[in-house]
Amino acid sequence: MKGLMTRFTIGAVFALPLMLLSFALAQAKPPTQPVTSVKGNCQVCHEEFQKAWEAGAHGRATVDPKFKTAWEAQGSPEKCLACHTSGYDSNTGAYEAEGVTCEACHSPVTDNHPAEPMPTDRSASACGKCHTETFFDWQVSAHRKNDLTCVGCHDPHATKLKADDPSTLCATCHRERSSNFAHTQHSQQGLTCADCHLGQMADAFNGEGHAVRDHSFNVRLSTCNECHAYQMHDPASVHTDQPTPQPPDAMAAVETMGVSAEPQPVSPVGFAVISGLLGFGAGLVVAPWIERWYRRMGRFDK
């Protein structure tokens, strides 16, 4: 019994310093670096976003040849620059900032970034300041009712969809409908969700917001007529097949996983407990050798 208690005591002697050391290290904060303002110089830290922006429509809003040609043909009206650039000097006729820059969405710019987070306006109304027609269509859509804003589908830096294939993007939310659609005649003919639910606007690039596709996501009769112009009054002569049975949803068992952009803080107590267990185990392992050493030194009775 005495030997067992001795070994437990040695294990505790090993565990306690490790626990205290781990607890102190877990609570220690890295040395604070002096904050240097990077206002107007976002690419210093966000190089990947800068490159995506430069290649996207926002970065090329003033250097796009189509815009320059159309703008100059209309007499270079300043009202166009309210959306196509973040700043314009009417006296010199020069751009203060080419394209829709970071400050258009990350505003007001703070001088203490990155010590303080940069404000970000991810609302649909922010996009609607320039994309007026698209914003108007979106307001009557089911996406708006379900709080799915523009940045849910569009990359605000690269100004493109967050998936290479529009149907793949739609399937992230509409899993059951996407699974059923894969078995339909429309899918077999190579049609995608966007072909019907994002119909081309008849006056694309002519309106105030230059809307290209209808973002109400409603299927218009004119869209169907593009393929079925002569089949409206005799659908049986074309669609003689039986209705497509609904296949089982392959994604039904998939659970949506919530991912947080910010790491959750870890309690230092957990590190201390793990270190203590490791130290206690190490103490039990070396205890027999320590006992023998003490016996040789005459500290313990045989």
Could you give the percent of the chain with pLDDT greater than 90? 8
pTM confidence score: 0.57
Query: Above 50 in pLDDT, residue 174?
Result: yes
User: What sign does the dihedral 223-225-227-232 (CA atoms) show?
Assistant: positive
| Average pLDDT of the residues of the chain | 75
Lowest mean pLDDT, pick from 26-35, 104-113, 160-169, 221-230: 26-35
Query: Above 90 in pLDDT, residue 143?
Result: yes
pLDDT in tens, 2-34: 666 776 677 677 777 777 777 777 666 555 444
Top-confidence residue, 302 or 117: 117
Average pLDDT over residues 142-169: 90
pLDDT in tens, 42-101: 888 888 888 898 888 888 888 888 888 888 888 888 888 888 876 545 555 555 557 888
pLDDT of 95: 52
pLDDT of 259: 44
pLDDT of 253: 42
Tell me the angle at which helices 268-296 and 2-27 cross, rounded to the nearest 10 degrees.
140
pLDDT in tens, 236-254: 555 545 444 454 444 444 4
pLDDT of 91: 56
Average pLDDT over residues 158-175: 88
pLDDT of 236: 54
Q: CA 53, CA 233: separation in Å to the nearest integer?
A: 49
Query: Above 50 in pLDDT, residue 39?
Result: no
* 229 CB-near residues (< 8 Å, 6+ apart): none
pLDDT in tens, 248-293: 444 444 444 444 444 556 667 776 778 777 877 777 777 777 777 7
Q: Would you call 188 helix, strand, or coil by DSSP?
A: helix
pLDDT of 97: 59
Average pLDDT over residues 150-159: 90
Residue 234 neighbours by CB distance under 10 Å: 9
Top-confidence residue, 201 or 127: 127
Alpha helices in 104-183 (DSSP H): 124-128, 132-139, 142-145, 166-171, 175-181
Q: What is the CA 295 to chain-centroid distance, rounded?
A: 65
Q: CA 239, CA 5: separation in Å to the nearest integer?
A: 86
Q: Would you call 154 helix, strand, or coil by DSSP?
A: strand
pLDDT of 142: 92
Q: CA 232, CA 221: separation in Å to the nearest integer?
A: 10
- Place 225 in a pLDDT band, splitting at 50, 70 and 90: confident
Residue 126 neighbours by CB distance under 10 Å: 19
